Copies of this chain bind each other. A is one copy, B any other.
């Protein structure tokens, strides 16, 4: 490597063409992967590019081929194992299809999400996969869709945005969990989510901007209503957006008289903090408190007791989103598709009959 020209970024298509003894247009066709040339010419150009350590200028490449070979991904929180696993699903499919995945974390902040998308568009990614932070602010995504840049939504979608969308069957999962807890005699069932409202209070599901979570809460409330439980809205707690916030919410809740006998955690980061808070207060799971967490995170099977979870098809969510995007990048024109993947309840030992 040390014998190579030190600043290979300055090697141009013209340099490669000269070394290969072909015209610049021919070299550009080979290096850009378009048009037709003979095998002999292709080999000569490829060998010259290798010898000179030619590195394509991405913008130039994208102007000739319309491709930069990259997919931009914007997720809410890469520290949440849900998203890191979904990103692996995306990356595995993308790599197979010859694309590099470029990731930006929005921190579930819609301003950061807009900036991330601007950056990725400016970097000329070929397509985007986004897990929108807020379903009420989709103008920037509408704009991407209108510009014709392929876009797929991950885990969260909106009927208002006609683009490829892959979500999990969150509503059904929440309904099944709620039915199970009701059957075991629970009536004081709390739902805790990281989503927040302007005044940190929950009144109605339409307050919740993240579709996956809104659908879960709708399912939870509907099943409670069917069972004759009114005003369960007051058992929905928002704003558990960090371990510290969750600990405070869970601790306050579990110390109150009339504390919940069951808690549904909207993700595994919340589930873990509820588990810790319950231990710290001295409440036994499941005899004092039943716990169900969304996401089958790695730790949920090694606690005592192990935690009952909603296993979402997380890897598959990423994989399907990337597949839809790659199909579209390959020019397969079609209507926007909406894929809903099934969830599964994994019964472990954190759920029991409500204490008398």
Contacts and interface: CB of A to CB of B under 8 A. Distances in A.
A351 to B, nearest CB: 17
A303 interface: yes
Interface stretch (A56-64, A127-135, A153-161): A56-64
Number of copies of this chain that the complex holds = 2
A142 interface: yes
Interface stretch (A85-93, A185-193, A202-210, A218-226): A85-93
A275 to B, nearest CB: 6
A253 to B, nearest CB: 19
A303 B276 CA distance: 10
Q: A-side binding surface: helix, strand, loop or mixed? A: helix
Contacts of A87: 78-79, 105
A269 B85 CA distance: 14
Nearest to A57: B122
Nearest to A1: B139
Size class of the A contact interface (CB-based, 8 Å): 35 or more
A102 B2 CA distance: 29
A9 B147 contact: yes
Contact of A122 (B56, B107, B118, B302): B56
Contact of A303 (B8, B68, B146, B302): B302
A85 B298 CA distance: 17
A76 interface: no
A272 B104 contact: no
Tell which of A112, A124, A143 has the most Cβ of chain B within 10 Å.
A143
A69 B118 CA distance: 12
Given A58-B122, A79-B87, A101-B104, 20 more contacts: A1-B143, A4-B143, A56-B122, A57-B59, A57-B122, A70-B119, A78-B78, A79-B81, A79-B84, A79-B88, A87-B105, A95-B112, A102-B102, A102-B103, A102-B123, A123-B124, A272-B298, A275-B302, A279-B302, A299-B302
